[in-house]
Amino acid sequence: MSEAALSYCAREVRRNDPERFLTCLFAPAERREALFALYAFNQEIAKTRSVVSEPLLGEIRLTWWRDAIGEIYQGQPRQHEVVQELAKAVAAYGLTRAHLDRMIEARAQDLTEEPPADMPALLAYAEGTSSTLTALCLEVLGASASEAATPAGIAVALTGLVRAIPFHARDHWVNIPASLLREHAVDIQALYDLRKPDGLRRCVETIADAARGNMAAARAMRGAVPKPALAALLPLTLADAHLGLLAKNGHDVYDPRLGEKSPLASWRLTWAALRGRY
Protein backbone atom coordinates (compact mmCIF):
# COMPACT_ATOMS: atom_id res chain seq x y z
CA MET A 1 0.00 0.00 0.00
CA SER A 2 1.60 3.27 -1.15
CA GLU A 3 2.02 6.21 1.20
CA ALA A 4 0.03 8.44 -1.16
CA ALA A 5 -2.98 6.13 -0.96
CA LEU A 6 -3.20 6.44 2.82
CA SER A 7 -5.12 8.97 4.88
CA TYR A 8 -3.29 11.27 7.30
CA CYS A 9 -4.12 9.06 10.30
CA ALA A 10 -3.16 5.89 8.47
CA ARG A 11 0.20 7.39 7.51
CA GLU A 12 0.86 8.44 11.10
CA VAL A 13 0.02 4.99 12.43
CA ARG A 14 2.09 3.26 9.75
CA ARG A 15 5.07 5.50 10.57
CA ASN A 16 4.87 5.42 14.37
CA ASP A 17 3.04 2.22 15.25
CA PRO A 18 3.65 -0.22 12.39
CA GLU A 19 2.47 -3.29 14.28
CA ARG A 20 -0.95 -1.80 14.96
CA PHE A 21 -1.09 -0.57 11.37
CA LEU A 22 -0.75 -4.17 10.20
CA THR A 23 -3.54 -5.34 12.50
CA CYS A 24 -5.89 -2.72 11.04
CA LEU A 25 -5.54 -4.34 7.62
CA PHE A 26 -7.42 -7.36 8.98
CA ALA A 27 -10.46 -5.25 9.89
CA PRO A 28 -13.39 -4.75 7.51
CA ALA A 29 -12.26 -2.12 4.98
CA GLU A 30 -15.08 0.29 5.77
CA ARG A 31 -14.05 0.42 9.45
CA ARG A 32 -10.31 0.80 9.12
CA GLU A 33 -10.26 4.59 9.05
CA ALA A 34 -11.97 4.69 12.45
CA LEU A 35 -9.28 2.38 13.83
CA PHE A 36 -6.55 4.53 12.30
CA ALA A 37 -8.14 7.58 13.94
CA LEU A 38 -8.14 5.91 17.36
CA TYR A 39 -4.55 4.76 17.05
CA ALA A 40 -3.46 8.20 15.79
CA PHE A 41 -5.19 9.80 18.78
CA ASN A 42 -3.38 7.38 21.05
CA GLN A 43 -0.07 8.42 19.50
CA GLU A 44 -0.85 12.10 20.00
CA ILE A 45 -1.38 11.75 23.73
CA ALA A 46 1.29 9.07 24.23
CA LYS A 47 4.04 11.31 22.85
CA THR A 48 3.22 14.17 25.22
CA ARG A 49 6.20 13.63 27.51
CA SER A 50 8.63 13.46 24.61
CA VAL A 51 7.49 16.68 22.91
CA VAL A 52 7.41 19.03 25.91
CA SER A 53 10.24 20.49 27.97
CA GLU A 54 8.47 20.53 31.33
CA PRO A 55 5.46 18.91 33.03
CA LEU A 56 3.34 22.07 32.95
CA LEU A 57 3.51 22.17 29.16
CA GLY A 58 2.53 18.52 29.10
CA GLU A 59 -0.49 19.26 31.25
CA ILE A 60 -1.47 22.05 28.87
CA ARG A 61 -1.19 19.65 25.92
CA LEU A 62 -3.36 17.04 27.62
CA THR A 63 -5.89 19.76 28.48
CA TRP A 64 -5.97 20.70 24.79
CA TRP A 65 -6.92 17.13 23.96
CA ARG A 66 -9.41 16.94 26.80
CA ASP A 67 -11.15 20.04 25.44
CA ALA A 68 -10.98 18.68 21.90
CA ILE A 69 -12.80 15.52 22.97
CA GLY A 70 -15.47 17.61 24.66
CA GLU A 71 -15.99 19.60 21.47
CA ILE A 72 -16.33 16.40 19.44
CA TYR A 73 -19.21 15.29 21.63
CA GLN A 74 -20.76 18.74 21.32
CA GLY A 75 -20.72 18.35 17.55
CA GLN A 76 -18.11 21.07 17.03
CA PRO A 77 -14.75 19.36 16.43
CA ARG A 78 -11.79 21.68 16.03
CA GLN A 79 -9.71 21.85 12.87
CA HIS A 80 -7.05 19.21 13.41
CA GLU A 81 -6.43 16.17 11.21
CA VAL A 82 -6.76 13.62 13.99
CA VAL A 83 -9.63 15.40 15.74
CA GLN A 84 -11.65 15.54 12.53
CA GLU A 85 -11.23 11.82 11.85
CA LEU A 86 -11.89 10.93 15.46
CA ALA A 87 -15.11 12.94 15.30
CA LYS A 88 -16.21 10.88 12.30
CA ALA A 89 -15.54 7.67 14.24
CA VAL A 90 -17.48 8.92 17.26
CA ALA A 91 -20.43 9.85 15.06
CA ALA A 92 -20.39 6.58 13.12
CA TYR A 93 -19.95 4.17 16.02
CA GLY A 94 -21.14 5.99 19.13
CA LEU A 95 -17.79 5.62 20.85
CA THR A 96 -17.81 5.82 24.63
CA ARG A 97 -16.48 9.21 25.72
CA ALA A 98 -15.40 7.90 29.13
CA HIS A 99 -12.81 5.67 27.43
CA LEU A 100 -11.29 8.62 25.55
CA ASP A 101 -11.26 10.77 28.68
CA ARG A 102 -9.62 8.02 30.69
CA MET A 103 -6.90 7.58 28.09
CA ILE A 104 -5.99 11.24 28.50
CA GLU A 105 -6.13 11.16 32.29
CA ALA A 106 -3.89 8.09 32.42
CA ARG A 107 -1.23 9.88 30.40
CA ALA A 108 -0.78 12.41 33.20
CA GLN A 109 1.32 9.70 34.88
CA ASP A 110 3.86 10.09 32.07
CA LEU A 111 4.63 13.62 33.25
CA THR A 112 5.81 12.57 36.69
CA GLU A 113 9.36 11.58 37.57
CA GLU A 114 8.27 8.86 39.98
CA PRO A 115 7.77 5.26 38.83
CA PRO A 116 4.49 3.46 39.63
CA ALA A 117 4.38 2.57 43.31
CA ASP A 118 3.71 -1.13 42.81
CA MET A 119 2.30 -3.70 40.39
CA PRO A 120 -1.35 -2.71 41.02
CA ALA A 121 -0.42 0.88 40.07
CA LEU A 122 1.30 -0.31 36.89
CA LEU A 123 -1.69 -2.48 35.98
CA ALA A 124 -4.02 0.50 36.51
CA TYR A 125 -1.84 2.57 34.18
CA ALA A 126 -1.87 -0.19 31.56
CA GLU A 127 -5.64 -0.46 31.79
CA GLY A 128 -6.13 3.30 31.53
CA THR A 129 -3.84 3.74 28.55
CA SER A 130 -4.39 0.51 26.64
CA SER A 131 -7.50 -1.42 27.71
CA THR A 132 -9.58 1.67 27.01
CA LEU A 133 -8.09 1.88 23.52
CA THR A 134 -8.83 -1.80 22.90
CA ALA A 135 -12.40 -1.31 24.11
CA LEU A 136 -12.89 1.57 21.66
CA CYS A 137 -11.53 -0.51 18.79
CA LEU A 138 -13.93 -3.31 19.71
CA GLU A 139 -16.78 -0.79 19.64
CA VAL A 140 -15.80 0.18 16.10
CA LEU A 141 -15.80 -3.50 15.12
CA GLY A 142 -19.17 -4.27 16.68
CA ALA A 143 -18.09 -6.05 19.86
CA SER A 144 -18.65 -3.38 22.50
CA ALA A 145 -19.82 -5.94 25.07
CA SER A 146 -16.59 -7.95 24.94
CA GLU A 147 -14.85 -8.34 28.29
CA ALA A 148 -11.59 -9.29 26.57
CA ALA A 149 -10.61 -5.63 26.23
CA THR A 150 -9.31 -5.26 29.77
CA PRO A 151 -6.85 -8.18 29.93
CA ALA A 152 -5.90 -7.81 26.26
CA GLY A 153 -5.06 -4.14 26.67
CA ILE A 154 -3.06 -4.78 29.83
CA ALA A 155 -1.05 -7.55 28.17
CA VAL A 156 -0.19 -5.40 25.16
CA ALA A 157 0.71 -2.40 27.32
CA LEU A 158 2.96 -4.34 29.68
CA THR A 159 4.75 -5.94 26.75
CA GLY A 160 5.32 -2.55 25.18
CA LEU A 161 6.55 -1.08 28.44
CA VAL A 162 9.21 -3.72 29.02
CA ARG A 163 10.40 -3.44 25.42
CA ALA A 164 10.71 0.33 25.89
CA ILE A 165 12.74 0.20 29.13
CA PRO A 166 16.09 1.08 27.47
CA PHE A 167 14.50 3.85 25.41
CA HIS A 168 12.72 5.34 28.43
CA ALA A 169 15.83 5.02 30.60
CA ARG A 170 17.74 7.32 28.25
CA ASP A 171 15.14 9.95 29.13
CA HIS A 172 15.46 9.14 32.86
CA TRP A 173 11.96 7.71 32.79
CA VAL A 174 11.22 4.44 34.58
CA ASN A 175 7.92 2.56 34.41
CA ILE A 176 9.09 -0.34 36.56
CA PRO A 177 7.20 -0.38 39.88
CA ALA A 178 9.19 1.11 42.75
CA SER A 179 8.37 -1.93 44.87
CA LEU A 180 10.10 -4.21 42.32
CA LEU A 181 13.10 -1.90 42.06
CA ARG A 182 13.53 -2.09 45.83
CA GLU A 183 12.89 -5.82 46.03
CA HIS A 184 15.59 -6.60 43.47
CA ALA A 185 17.96 -3.78 44.50
CA VAL A 186 18.07 -2.22 41.05
CA ASP A 187 20.53 0.68 40.74
CA ILE A 188 18.49 3.42 39.03
CA GLN A 189 21.57 5.32 37.90
CA ALA A 190 22.93 2.18 36.27
CA LEU A 191 19.60 1.85 34.48
CA TYR A 192 19.86 5.45 33.25
CA ASP A 193 23.40 4.73 32.05
CA LEU A 194 22.19 1.62 30.18
CA ARG A 195 24.55 -0.59 32.19
CA LYS A 196 22.18 -3.55 32.70
CA PRO A 197 21.85 -3.24 36.49
CA ASP A 198 21.66 -6.36 38.63
CA GLY A 199 18.10 -7.36 39.39
CA LEU A 200 16.60 -5.77 36.28
CA ARG A 201 15.86 -9.12 34.63
CA ARG A 202 13.90 -10.21 37.69
CA CYS A 203 11.80 -7.05 37.48
CA VAL A 204 11.18 -7.62 33.78
CA GLU A 205 10.25 -11.25 34.41
CA THR A 206 7.60 -10.21 36.94
CA ILE A 207 6.05 -7.71 34.52
CA ALA A 208 6.26 -10.16 31.61
CA ASP A 209 4.56 -12.84 33.71
CA ALA A 210 1.72 -10.40 34.42
CA ALA A 211 1.44 -9.77 30.68
CA ARG A 212 1.30 -13.51 30.00
CA GLY A 213 -1.40 -14.01 32.62
CA ASN A 214 -3.56 -11.27 31.13
CA MET A 215 -2.96 -12.62 27.65
CA ALA A 216 -4.20 -16.03 28.73
CA ALA A 217 -7.29 -14.44 30.29
CA ALA A 218 -8.07 -12.55 27.08
CA ARG A 219 -7.62 -15.65 24.96
CA ALA A 220 -9.94 -17.63 27.21
CA MET A 221 -12.72 -15.29 26.01
CA ARG A 222 -12.01 -15.93 22.34
CA GLY A 223 -15.25 -17.76 21.73
CA ALA A 224 -17.28 -14.67 22.63
CA VAL A 225 -15.49 -12.37 20.17
CA PRO A 226 -17.10 -12.16 16.70
CA LYS A 227 -14.64 -12.78 13.87
CA PRO A 228 -14.98 -9.26 12.35
CA ALA A 229 -13.77 -7.85 15.68
CA LEU A 230 -10.59 -9.92 15.90
CA ALA A 231 -8.46 -7.11 14.44
CA ALA A 232 -8.84 -5.18 17.70
CA LEU A 233 -7.21 -8.05 19.57
CA LEU A 234 -4.56 -9.06 17.03
CA PRO A 235 -1.91 -6.92 18.80
CA LEU A 236 -1.84 -9.81 21.28
CA THR A 237 -0.41 -12.08 18.59
CA LEU A 238 2.61 -9.84 18.15
CA ALA A 239 2.94 -9.21 21.89
CA ASP A 240 3.09 -12.98 22.34
CA ALA A 241 6.06 -13.16 19.98
CA HIS A 242 7.89 -10.45 21.93
CA LEU A 243 7.19 -12.20 25.23
CA GLY A 244 8.48 -15.43 23.72
CA LEU A 245 11.75 -13.76 22.80
CA LEU A 246 12.06 -12.34 26.33
CA ALA A 247 11.56 -15.80 27.79
CA LYS A 248 14.28 -17.22 25.53
CA ASN A 249 16.83 -14.49 26.23
CA GLY A 250 16.40 -14.53 29.99
CA HIS A 251 14.29 -11.35 30.02
CA ASP A 252 17.08 -9.19 28.65
CA VAL A 253 15.42 -5.97 27.45
CA TYR A 254 18.69 -4.85 25.85
CA ASP A 255 18.41 -7.56 23.19
CA PRO A 256 18.29 -5.50 19.95
CA ARG A 257 15.84 -7.95 18.40
CA LEU A 258 13.12 -6.62 20.72
CA GLY A 259 13.20 -3.28 18.95
CA GLU A 260 13.42 -4.60 15.42
CA LYS A 261 10.52 -4.94 13.03
CA SER A 262 9.88 -8.65 12.68
CA PRO A 263 9.79 -9.93 9.09
CA LEU A 264 7.34 -12.56 10.34
CA ALA A 265 4.79 -10.08 11.73
CA SER A 266 2.50 -10.15 8.70
CA TRP A 267 2.67 -13.94 8.52
CA ARG A 268 1.84 -14.32 12.22
CA LEU A 269 -1.15 -12.00 11.91
CA THR A 270 -2.42 -13.71 8.77
CA TRP A 271 -2.13 -17.16 10.34
CA ALA A 272 -3.93 -16.00 13.50
CA ALA A 273 -6.69 -14.27 11.54
CA LEU A 274 -7.27 -17.30 9.31
CA ARG A 275 -7.77 -19.45 12.39
CA GLY A 276 -9.97 -16.89 14.15
CA ARG A 277 -7.40 -16.47 16.89
CA TYR A 278 -5.43 -13.72 18.55
Q: Find the range with the poorest average confidence among 72-81, 120-129, 241-250, 251-260.
A: 251-260
Please report which confidence band the pLDDT of residue 242 belongs to, taking 50, 70 and 90 as the band edges: very high
- Is the confidence at residue 2, as pLDDT, over 80? no
Q: Which of 126, 8, 112, 133 has the alpha carbon at shortest distance from 58?
A: 112
Q: pLDDT value at position 161? A: 98
Q: pLDDT-based confidence at 260, cuts 50/70/90?
A: confident
What is the reported pLDDT for 146?
79
Q: Please say if the pLDDT value at position 51 is more than 90.
A: yes
pLDDT tens digit string along 123-154? Answer: 999 999 999 999 999 999 999 877 999 999 99
Q: What is the pLDDT of residues 10-38, one digit of tens each?
A: 999 999 999 999 999 999 999 999 999 99
The answer to whether 228 and 141 have CB atoms below 8 angstroms apart is yes
pLDDT at 191 over 70: yes
Q: Cα 131 to the chain's mean position, in Å? A: 8
SS (H, E, C) 123-168: HHHHHHHHHHHHHHHHHHCCCCCCCCHHHHHHHHHHHHHHHCHHHH
Average pLDDT over residues 184-199: 92
The 10s digit of each residue's pLDDT in 210-222 is 999 999 999 999 9
Whether the per-residue pLDDT at 91 is higher than 70: the answer is yes
Q: Average pLDDT of the chain?
A: 96
Segment 184-190 shows an average pLDDT of 94
Looking at the chain, the whole-number percentage of residues with pLDDT higher than 90 is 93
In the chain, ranges of CATH 1.10.600.10 domains: 114-261
Res 1: pLDDT: 60
Distance CA 104, CA 188 (A): 28
* From the candidate CATH numbers 3.40.980.10, 3.90.1150.10, 1.10.600.10, 1.10.3720.10, the one assigned to the domain spanning 114-261: 1.10.600.10
Nearest of 101, 74, 79, 77 to residue 88 by alpha carbon: 77
